[in-house]
Amino acid sequence: MLFAALTLHLPAQGAAQPPVSQPTVPGSQSDRAPAPSPAPAPIFGFRDITRQSILDAEFLAVPDAILAQQHLEVLTASPHWASSPEDYTTALYVADRFKAAGLQTEIVPYRVLLNKPSSILIEAFDATGQKILTNPTREHVDLPANSVAAHFQDDPRVLPGFNGSSPSGDVTAPIVYANYGRLADFQRLASLGISVKGKIVLVRYGEDFRGVKVYIAQQYGAKGVLIYSDPSDEGSKTGLTYPVGPWRPDSGVQRGSVQFIPIYPGDPTTPGVASTPTLLESARVPLDKLQYDLPSIPVNPLSSADAAPILRALTGPGAPREWQGGLSFPYHLGGDTSVTVHMRLAQDVQLRTIWDVIGKVPGASDPSQWVIMGNHRDAWVYGAADPSSGTAAMLEAVHGLGVLIHQGWKPRRTIVIASWDGEEEGLVGSTEWVEQNLDAPHSTDPIHAVAYFNTDVAVSGPNFKAAAVPSLRGFLREITAEVPSPAGGTVLQQWTKKDDRGHGSAQSRDPTTDNARLGPGPHVGDLGSGSDYTPFLQHEGVPSTDIGSDGPYGVYHTVYDNYDWFARFADPTFAYLQQQARILGLEVLHMADADVLPFDDQLYADEIRSYLDHAQTRAQSLNLQLDFTAALAAADRFTAAARAIHQRQLAPPKDAAALDRALSAAERALLIPEGLPRRPWYRHSIYAPGEFTGYAAIVIPGVNEAIDALDPTRAQTQLAALAEALDRSAAALSTVAP
């Protein structure tokens, strides 16, 4: 998969963009969608699929690999950190493409708190006082002069490696090495008699969200945190590094936010309130009161090249064997005076403007039901895979929808396409939009979102992956069964072939349902956090999906995640961008036009019962005396209601409005009004990011996190809250049960 660097061909200022109806450029077989089957398979949620099959075929023929490539070139031409002039330029580009497709389009600004580094000084001294590190080095690899790759690396607009949400600070202290900075790692240090109180902690990227590393270190009394990229974690010990291979060079610095997203995301000055430009300052949390979801200690990233002299000079106890990374010497824990680090960070913290781009296609018969698709647009640097591959795919999905619109098609439900800004800083653009539009109890024109479809890193390689609420897992498998894969066959077939994690609880699906024709199917993950589905699902109870296509992606959040890297290693023919565009578009088409919302709550019920059974077994193994009776009974009632409504969905009436209301209300009913303990912004009773994981989902989080904390009183209270949520959801489904 090694390809020569491609030359950029950017459209000149004001140059005409490709027309919406431009046909697919002839090419390989994967460039062309297959002709519709003479006997198309049933689609769950539709009475008569003849019309939908025709629409699907017309749509699938439109998304174009060459046009997706052109979008990616434009979007990655400059570094476009949120709120920068270059970021606004990408907003204009996306808005132009939305308008060309026939979408009602607006650019929606928000004023949000962002930090930008004014100066960074990090020095390290050994036990003799000799300086062993003088400031982090610039990301740099040896490249031919004037090459495309050198152009990206040397752009003066590239910000130095820094962490979003880090405060300013000037601290000097000994270093302690804490492995990945997980809760278990800090507990291990404590068991070894090593305190991090008053120290600077050095942790590796990986295993959990970087903000959680800081969240835990701060609770243990650390004065500062340095987060480095170990060569064994997607770096030089993994394989060939850029520009020869896809892995991170030793100089690569992973930027990223350290906001405490598991507490709440979005603008930290306006929790639960949209940070609009007209918001009164009195409605914001004062800057000197910002402690709830932001670190109070300075944090900065390091490359492995800059972390190496610190780790080499550390003494103290040897690191546990499993803590040894990829540098060529034994790791030690420190905690003594063998290495002292001086961190002096000056952050320019102020309210800055970000720009969401929102496109809308009004629904013809059910306009109050909104089907939303979104991807973020901002990047730490160029963001070829993260997130511009998603934006390129989304724009080609919009291209396909635009062809249908210009042919006279009108969706049954309203379609909204969103290009979020500020995601990298803490899911900011999507959270503020949700708080303005979906979490606005005093609105005179309430919006009812029935589904949210997310993509972020749409393509970093050829391996399709997905996560979703259980009720949409069958929906995703049906969609991918229609889309051709560049590797041959359908995406579903390739996904199933490459899936090595089993079939999960899909094996328990009732074989009498129409979705059983897809077989057990490949693994569909749970939704934790780390992307823009979070405010939709976990704050507002909107059924959501998230899709991507993975590969060897070692340059995440570095300067090397650029167009040159993408064209060499991720998707040289851009056929996987085309594939992802087709999947995104079909998700929207099917949800917007289904006769009844295609939610399979039978699978949801099976999953919830399995979660409860597992939690009960864990509690018993820990000798926690908990009563699961009420929660299990509520789960049984939810199961009965789900099976009853599913029978109605198999043959939906012509007027399915009551069914739609019941199915949509069922997910929102799973919200706990008072939210989760210690983090009330998160309200979903079934899924949340873990307080001490950040990315990974915790199922029935209130219950499981109380069990983890060995807190039976809290666990019993959360079991009661879960039982009430399940009963509310069952009642919602039962409003139309026979």
Please give the positions annotated as active site: 423
Answer for the pair 640, 730: CB distance below 8 angstroms, yes or no.
yes
Report the SS3 class of residue 80: coil
Between CA 591 and CA 256 the distance in angstroms is: 34
Do the Cβ atoms of 425 and 265 come closer than 8 Å? Answer: no
φ/ψ region of 204 (left if φ > 0, alpha if ψ in -120 to 50, else beta) reads beta
Query: Residue 352: beta bridge partners?
Result: 112
**What phi-psi label fits residue 129: left (phi over 0), alpha (psi between -120 and 50 degrees) or beta?**
left
Amino acid at 736: V
State how beta strands 339-361 and 299-302 pair: unpaired
Interatomic CA distance for residues 731 and 57, integer angstroms = 39
In terms of Cα–Cα distance, which of 605, 279, 563, 625 is closest to 436?
Answer: 279
Cβ-Cβ contacts under 8 Å for 15 (sequence gap 6 or more) = none
Contact (Cβ atoms closer than 8 angstroms) between residue 432 and residue 275: yes
Residues 6 or more apart in contact with residue 151 via CB below 8 angstroms: 8
99: left (phi over 0), alpha (psi -120 to 50) or beta: alpha
Taking the C-alpha atoms of residue 670 and residue 725, their distance in angstroms, rounded to an integer, is 5
Name the packing angle between helices 629-650 and 657-668 (round to 10°).
150
Question: Which segments of 267-303 does DSSP mark as H helices, in order?
Answer: none
| Residue 273 DSSP label | S
Per-residue tokens: 329: 């010497």
Coil, strand or helix at 274: coil
DSSP state string for 159-214: PPS-EETPPPEEEEEEEEE-TT--HHHHHHHHHTT---TTSEEEEESBSB-HHHHH
Q: CA distances (Å), 4 to each of 7, 241, 406, in order?
A: 9, 15, 39
* Separate counts of helices (H) and strands (E) for the chain: 19, 16
Scanning 46-161, the segments in alpha helix (DSSP H) are: 50-60, 65-75, 85-100, 148-153
**Residue 635 host element (H or E):** helix 629-650
